[in-house]
Structure 1
Amino acid sequence: MHDPLIGRQLANFRVDRLIGRGGMASVYYAWDIKLNRPVAVKVIDTRLRGNPAYAARFLQEARSIAALRHENILQVFYAGEEDDLLYFAMEYIDGQDLGQILKEVSAAGNRLPYEEVIRYGKAAASALDHAHQKGVIHRDVKPANVLISRDGRIVLGDFGLALDVSQGSLGEVFGTATYTAPEQARRSSAAVPQSDLYSLGVMLYEMLTGTVPFDDSSPASVAIQHLTLPPPRPRNLNPDLSQAAEDVLLKALSKDPADRYQIGAEFVAALEEALLQIPGTTSETKAPTPRKLSPLLLASGIGGVLMLCAILAVITALAARKPLPTETLSSTPQKENLVALQPSPSPDEPLLTSTTFMPAAPTGISPTVPPTASSTETPTASPTASPAASPTVSQSPAPTTSVPIDVVGEVPPTSTPKYLTGRRFLLLYNDTSFYMLQTDGYGGLIAPAAFERLDGEGYPVNRFDGDAWAEYYKTTLKNWCSRLEILDAGDYLQPGQCGDNYISSRWLKADDPGIFWTTQENSSQFRVLWGREEVARCEIATGECEVYLP
């Protein structure tokens, strides 16, 4: 069926296509012909157009929301009425909503890493605190209204049901039953700022346990449960949660608004502190478990002596430059053979060590242009929908003398891929560039990953740490690439699989010790580490390698 709005122009906005329909409105992708940028236009449903009271309230709420200026709030550019149409023109976010991400994670039988839970929670809480300070209550906080752009920006959208406390509310506006606070379920106009924080609590409960506290096919039944039943204890659903984390979630879901956290930042800070109380559980990713000595050795006191002997044997073997037996290969080289990665200086700032460009803004993604040694200007990205969505250019501190990396515990090498149920990555490389594309799985940390060139005897000689990427963006995303390119080398691979989707980029000088993948005499392989554990070895000559990470 033809949509009569497609192709129509509303004020400065040419309506191009339908994005989605909801119970009260339809959202269209449109083009601002005056400012030459994409926008999202939300048109109120036909059933509500003939109600003068609703039209007046709709425009008043639009004015209130347009006054909200915050990096985590979807910006409203314009609200208008044309013929019988009421509409918003809003910032267009090219990405996913949190609801879609949670479905993908759940379908894979996983839960979000704690760091991601806190990152989403902080963004939503900051947006709500700002709105509440301005006298606006959202009243429909849920994962589908938390949008994540391709460059990782998190915004709270769809204030279409928002209440300006100075103006009152239409009583029939209810919100989404699964995330609605008890007082709002009784009467929509009874919503208070802590009603939004209750909804945020339901979202965080869902992210940490994999399910919402109350669910039913009947919205009325769910509302009654919110009003009358205590939520299931989170630790019964996720035993890895601490008691402190459970206490925080249950406080956020108190029936009485006065018993909840009064400020979103306070709520998320308490949850973050609670999640960090248990070592190793701040993320789904856990460090490899050290090998344990037998009780007999511990009891007899011989364990310490044997450990010392093993360390001396490793040092002796490294000094003699002989390959270690397979069962005792160290995961890092001897101190004098390897120095810590020092990022290369940017071409226009020779006294700085590195320049990293974040992906382009969600409204007009374009490839990041690499710097050149002769350039005098920092590359810029294409125009974006709002200043908050602009790319970030960050530079690292002034260079220092390279510091040797300490030798760590022994880890046997592996000849077969590990973590085959984890995130799948395709490594693509030539002599001038290296690209790491996540092809499957949910987002996860990049910092624990590392890459080491191996010499002809199997010893690491060059190393690049994922920390260098994580300094600017901590996680990987499906169908996005992290890249390394050698300055002025030319002939960059720039694989088609990456498109314009670069989540983090580094440009290195030709003599940078972090270059591990290029053709070099007496070196035919590099290996991939996760923490201290070797997870894969890759042949340099092939230009391609498959790797799985937790």
Structure 2
Amino acid sequence: MTNLIGKQLGDYTLVSVLATGGMARIYEAVDRRLGRQAAVKVLELNPNGQDEDDIDMLPQRFQREARAVAGLEHDNIITLYQYGEQDGVYFIAMKLIRGKDLAQELTRLRRNGLRMEVRRGLRILEQVASALDCAHQAQIIHRDVKPSNILLDANDRATLTDFGLVMRDTFDTTLGTAFGTPRYIAPEQAVHSGSAVPQSDVYSFATILYEVLTGQTPFDGSTPMEIALSQINDPPPPPRTINDNIPEAAEREILRALDKEPTKRQASAGELIAAVKHAYFPTGDLGTEYAIKTTLLQQTMPSPPLPPPQPAASSALAPVPRKRSSMWEIVAALGMIVLVLAVIALVVSRSQLNAGSSTQVPALAPTINAAQPLTTPQLALVGSTQESAAAATATSESVAPVTPEPTPAPSLLLTYDDNTFNLINTGAADFDLHALQFAHGSNLFDGSAVPRSTLPAGTCFRIQLQRTQSSLPDGCAKLYGATYLPTTQRFFWRNEPDGSPTFEIRIDGDEVSTCPTIARGSSSTCTFSLPPAA
């Protein structure tokens, strides 16, 4: 693609490259008349590197994108300034958004072992849902809803961009063979791009919501075709198997939006996000949002003027009328006097006793102000150190050192069959999953890849084929997490392909036990112990 920095396209001078895609490049530009900064998306055709059909179709698709965006007015849809063609170069000038896209933010969080905070994620996706609903009301289907097409500014204001695959619901047919992005594409769209409906965008939107709440997309694979086939054929893993903090009602809504049948999904993205938000916050708690708005307002509003200085307290304050003492106050005062006299008598008595002793022990009674009530520490210190020392000696001689009871060795029950491998914590202590490895030849499952480091007592963790579903095994009160494998070739508990009778169990890389492998169609169990989690 030719570098166009310095070139004039319409009213815009291109000054730098912002991003490069497969068929377009986005430049930062300046409107020479208004002095306004803009983002200019440039489509360049390469006759040597593209099919002839694509060369004919791409300009039509590009123009269709411009017309679609121009017909939408919404705070969360990119604003279009100009469309044109110059010297064989097609371009669209749009509003320049300073910030990053949602894909970059999710990647940053994932690298730090984090998920996006729920309130923040829902606020961002509420804006995207509103933008999609606006497009759908105008009978425009985006067909490429994904995190990299959602721009975020410094205040998390979301902008939906890149309507390059847009299709009008009523009369457009698809141009070319483009069908969207495999990880976010709806099943019907993966089969045939022209089959997309508004609920196809809802499916893609639900996939982003799934990723925000769990940290991963429902389907993954080594090739785009493998992922697309999973979208078409496989049920998505329930999000609570990855993050059990997700409310059950939210999970139901997400799985409904990911149904293979478009008519079974929610009618709109707004309906989906509203239901999920209600599942998390049934009382409609807006406290955090209010606090954020208040902070922003305080940062932009001038501070109020200080009040004028007050005169001296002696002249400004009116005398406070004295209250008549109540009967309870008189009784309390008399009781305090009696208590003080009793303590003084006790001190004098102990001093006389100590005077007849051959060894003088100074009293540790603190100085007591009769005008102040006695506190518990003051009363505790009245007496002799001799008695305290004797008590301490008696205690040390009569109490044997306490030896802590050893922590019971935790145990793990493994149950496995053709498609599922369950790890059940049958002990009373947590298991350290991150130290655990299973190995069979070159096939290695490393527990450090599991999102949670510990497996609580009575719960289980599951490894299974991506498209299968099964009930909880006996002894497992709760499924604490799951990992889905795309193919049985990664099943370390199967005896294929080398016929090995066992697989290894390792702790921090050291072999501690072995368990029997199984043949296709068989099942087995195995028990062993692990060190408790630190």
Q: TM class, shorter-chain normalised? A: 0.5 to 0.7
Offset of residue 506 of structure 1? 4.1
How many residue pairs are counted as aligned between the two chains?
302
C-alpha deviations, 1:37-69, integer Å up to 9, x for none? Answer: 111111124236972343234313321221111
- Distance in structure 1 (CA, Å) of the matches to 2:114 and 2:20: 29
SS at 1:245 equivalent: helix
Equivalent in the alignment of 1:77: 81
Matched, 1:46 2:45: yes
More helix by share: 2
C-alpha deviations, 1:130-168, integer Å up to 9, x for none? Answer: 111112111111111111112432110111121123222
Matched, 1:149 2:153: yes
Offset of residue 257 of structure 1? 0.5
Matched, 1:161 2:165: yes
Equivalent in the alignment of 2:245: 240
Pairing of 1:424-439 with structure 2 (within 5 A): none
- Distance in structure 2 (CA, Å) of the matches to 1:228 and 1:159: 27
Equivalent in the alignment of 1:211: 216
Equivalent in the alignment of 2:397: none
Offset of residue 271 of structure 1? 0.6
C-alpha deviations, 1:179-233, integer Å up to 9, x for none? Answer: 0000111111111111111000000000000100001231111000000001111
Q: Pick one of 193, 196, 205 that aligns with 1:200.
A: 205
Matched, 1:59 2:63: yes
CA separation of 1:115/1:237 partners in 2, compared to 1, >3 Å: closer, same or farther?
Answer: same
Equivalent in the alignment of 1:529: none
CA separation of 1:242/1:509 partners in 2, compared to 1, >3 Å: closer, same or farther?
Answer: same
SS at 1:273 equivalent: helix
Which amino acid in structure 1 is aligned with residue 306 of structure 2?
Answer: D
Alpha-carbon contact 1:248-1:271 (below 8 Å) kept: yes
Which amino acid in structure 2 is aligned with residue 218 of structure 1?
Answer: T
Matched, 1:184 2:189: yes
CA separation of 1:57/1:108 partners in 2, compared to 1, >3 Å: closer, same or farther?
Answer: closer
Matched, 1:22 2:27: no
Segments of 5+ residues of structure 2 without an aligned counterpart are 309-534
- Distance in structure 2 (CA, Å) of the matches to 1:108 and 1:192: 37
Segments of 5+ residues of structure 1 without an aligned counterpart are 284-444, 448-466, 474-481, 485-503, 514-550
Alpha-carbon contact 2:102-2:151 (below 8 Å) kept: yes
Alpha-carbon contact 1:39-1:92 (below 8 Å) kept: yes
Deviates further, 148-157 or 90-99 = 148-157
Alpha-carbon contact 1:61-1:164 (below 8 Å) kept: no
CA separation of 1:162/1:217 partners in 2, compared to 1, >3 Å: closer, same or farther?
Answer: same
Q: Pick one of 491, 494, 511 that aligns with 2:306.
A: 511
Percent identity of the aligned residues? 39
Offset of residue 278 of structure 1? 9.9
- Distance in structure 2 (CA, Å) of the matches to 1:49 and 1:83: 21
SS at 1:508 equivalent: coil
Which amino acid in structure 1 is aligned with residue 175 of structure 2?
Answer: L
CA separation of 1:86/1:510 partners in 2, compared to 1, >3 Å: closer, same or farther?
Answer: same
- Distance in structure 2 (CA, Å) of the matches to 1:277 and 1:173: 41
Structure 1 stretches of 4+ moved >6 Å = none
Equivalent in the alignment of 1:259: 264
C-alpha deviations, 1:511-542, integer Å up to 9, x for none? Answer: 379xxxxxxxxxxxxxxxxxxxxxxxxxxxxx
Which amino acid in structure 2 is aligned with residue 227 of structure 1?
Answer: I
For normalisation by structure 2, the TM-score amounts to 0.53
SS at 1:152 equivalent: coil
SS at 1:41 equivalent: strand
Q: Pick one of 230, 234, 239 that aligns with 1:229.
A: 234
- Distance in structure 2 (CA, Å) of the matches to 1:137 and 1:153: 22
CA separation of 1:57/1:242 partners in 2, compared to 1, >3 Å: closer, same or farther?
Answer: closer
Alpha-carbon contact 1:235-1:246 (below 8 Å) kept: yes
- Distance in structure 1 (CA, Å) of the matches to 2:205 and 2:4: 35
- Distance in structure 2 (CA, Å) of the matches to 1:134 and 1:248: 25
Alpha-carbon contact 1:124-1:156 (below 8 Å) kept: yes
Equivalent in the alignment of 1:347: none
C-alpha deviations, 1:331-358, integer Å up to 9, x for none? Answer: xxxxxxxxxxxxxxxxxxxxxxxxxxxx
SS at 2:302 equivalent: strand
Alpha-carbon contact 1:49-1:55 (below 8 Å) kept: no
Alpha-carbon contact 1:49-1:84 (below 8 Å) kept: no
Q: Pick one of 107, 112, 118 that aligns with 1:108.
A: 112
Pairing of 1:264-343 with structure 2 (within 5 A): 264-277=269-282
- Distance in structure 1 (CA, Å) of the matches to 2:274 and 2:3: 48
Matched, 1:174 2:173: no
- Distance in structure 2 (CA, Å) of the matches to 1:3 and 1:231: 42
Alpha-carbon contact 1:121-1:268 (below 8 Å) kept: yes
Alpha-carbon contact 1:42-1:88 (below 8 Å) kept: yes
Alpha-carbon contact 1:171-1:188 (below 8 Å) kept: no
CA separation of 1:187/1:171 partners in 2, compared to 1, >3 Å: closer, same or farther?
Answer: farther
Which amino acid in structure 2 is aligned with residue 471 of structure 1?
Answer: T
Which amino acid in structure 2 is aligned with residue 107 of structure 1?
Answer: R
CA separation of 1:208/1:4 partners in 2, compared to 1, >3 Å: closer, same or farther?
Answer: closer
- Distance in structure 2 (CA, Å) of the matches to 1:67 and 1:228: 36
Equivalent in the alignment of 1:220: 225
Pairing of 1:456-467 with structure 2 (within 5 A): 467=291
Offset of residue 510 of structure 1? 4.2
- Distance in structure 2 (CA, Å) of the matches to 1:15 and 1:77: 15
Equivalent in the alignment of 1:89: 93
Alpha-carbon contact 2:61-2:165 (below 8 Å) kept: no
CA separation of 1:155/1:279 partners in 2, compared to 1, >3 Å: closer, same or farther?
Answer: closer
Matched, 1:471 2:294: yes
Alpha-carbon contact 1:183-1:191 (below 8 Å) kept: yes
- Distance in structure 2 (CA, Å) of the matches to 1:103 and 1:198: 21
CA separation of 1:24/1:211 partners in 2, compared to 1, >3 Å: closer, same or farther?
Answer: same
Alpha-carbon contact 1:66-1:75 (below 8 Å) kept: yes
SS at 1:141 equivalent: coil
CA separation of 1:4/1:61 partners in 2, compared to 1, >3 Å: closer, same or farther?
Answer: closer
Which amino acid in structure 1 is aligned with residue 294 of structure 2?
Answer: E
For normalisation by structure 1, the TM-score amounts to 0.52
SS at 1:43 equivalent: strand
Offset of residue 4 of structure 1? 3.4
Alpha-carbon contact 1:242-1:278 (below 8 Å) kept: no
**Structure label with greater radius of gyration:** 2
Which amino acid in structure 1 is aligned with residue 136 of structure 2?
Answer: H
